[in-house]
Amino acid sequence: MAGPRNISVSEASRPVLPRHAKLKYDETRQVWVILAPERVLAPDEIAVEVLQLCDGQRNVGEIADQLAAKYSAPREAILADVIAMLQDLADKGFLTEIREKTS
């Protein structure tokens, strides 16, 4: 089955795009897009960078670490932005997360 829905993105979340949301570079229009049922979203540069790091392995905290190091920017501000963006995507139904098996 698909990953859980209705997720609340936090520093510990390990987000990943679900099967029905595909990140792709659109050669014709020279933009990155997320293809989803009856939708085409246009993520901005930062969103693309974040989504490329959402591999279901890294957690949000690690993603923020990586971006903070890369841009020599304050980690707390980056973390807040990343969480807000991912939560927005989750609320639209285009983000899921990997959870540890509890059984």
Partner 1 sequence: MSDVTIPPSDSLAVLEKQRSTAETFGIPLAVLLEITHRCPLQCPYCSNPVELDRSAKELTSDEWKKVLSELAEIGVLQVHFSGGEPTARKDLVELVKHASDAGLYTNLITSAVLLTREKLSDLADAGLCHVQISFQGIEEGLADRVGGYKGGHRKKLEVAKWTRELDLPLTVNAVMHRQNLHQLPEMIQMALDLDADRLEVANVQYYGWALKNRAALMPTVAQLDECTRLVEEARERLKGRLTIDYVVPDYYALRPKKCMGGWGRQFFNISPAGKVLPCHAAESVTGLDFESVRSNHSIAWIWQNSEAFNRYRGTGWMKEPCKSCEFREIDFGGCRCQAFALTGDAANTDPACALSPLHETIFKQAEAEAEGETSRFLYRNFAGGTLESENDA
Using CB under 8 A as the criterion, which residues of the chain lie in contact with partner 1 when the complex forms?
1-2, 5-7, 18-20, 22, 24, 26-31, 33-35, 37-44, 46-47, 85, 88-93
Minimum CB distance to partner 1, residue 67 (Å)? 14
- Least spacing, CB of residue 8 vs partner 1, in Å: 9
Strand partners, 25: 32
The Cα-based distances of 4 to 9, 58, 66, 76 in angstroms read 12, 17, 26, 27
Q: How far is the CB of 97 from partner 1 (least distance, A)?
A: 12
76 versus 91: smaller Cβ distance to partner 1: 91
10 Å Cβ neighbour count for 78? 21
Asked if 1 and 79 touch (Cβ cutoff 8 Å), the reply is: no
